[in-house]
Amino acid sequence: MAATPRSPPARFAKAQVLRAQHRYEEAIPEYETVIALNRNWAHAYSHLGWCKFMTGSIEELIPAQEQAIRLSPRDPQIGLFYSRIGYVHLLQSHTDEAITWCEKARSATPAHPQFRTFLASAYALKGDTERAAAELTEACRLVGDDRYSTISRLRTLESLGVSKVRASVETTYFVGLRKAGVPE
């Protein structure tokens, strides 16, 4: 960074480390700098949107993912972009939109267990508990551990962001998972 402060890869790497450390506020300006230096960096938009989401700007996640999709429509991580859009719709109780985007995420990345839990929650909230249970069963099989065994276990494992985000997770995602069969 000291030798090449205007290097997009160096700034992106710093942003990624900060995001991985859950230091979302600090990561935001790093991703913004990457975008200012290279407007075509799809993952910078995607992760910038995630950091803004985790700091409470839930509504900023969808346009960031849409921009990532426009820039890289065949991206190997396209399922991540789709799932993030689906997750926002889920947290905003837009169940039909959540299902559409989560199904796209599942189709793009069938072996990703978390995408399936988002879909399980959305199906359950829609009243389709059979499909919800099937997605949940597959997520559990794919992950190979007990993270989806209880809601309380999920709370300890997942970074849920600021209180605004946590509250939405509690009233949508976790409610759906309970309906899909995950106990408290």
Two tokens, residue 10: 């160096």
Task: Write down the mean pLDDT value for the chain.
Answer: 96
Instruction: Report d(CA 77, CA 44) in Å as an integer.
Output: 13
Which residue in 100, 97, 84 sits closest to 46, CA to CA? 84
Confidence of residue 4 (pLDDT cuts 50, 70, 90): confident
Question: If pLDDT is split at 50, 70 and 90, which confidence band does 150 have?
Answer: very high
Beta strands in the chain (DSSP E): none
What's the pLDDT at 125?
Answer: 98
Look at residue 1 and tell me whether its pLDDT is greater than 80: no
This prediction's pTM: 0.95
Region 10-20: what's the mean pLDDT? 97
**Domains of the chain, first to last:** 1-74 (1.25.40.10), 76-184 (1.25.40.10)
Helices (H), the chain: 8-20, 24-37, 42-54, 61-71, 78-91, 95-108, 113-126, 129-143, 151-157, 163-168, 174-180
Once rounded to an integer, what is the mean pLDDT over residues 160-165?
Answer: 92
Which residues lie closer than 8 Å to 166 by C-beta, 6 or more apart?
Answer: 160
How is residue 159 written in tokens?
Answer: 């970074």
pLDDT at position 23 over 90? yes
What's the pLDDT band for 5 if we cut at 50, 70, 90?
confident
* Model pLDDT, residue 158: 86
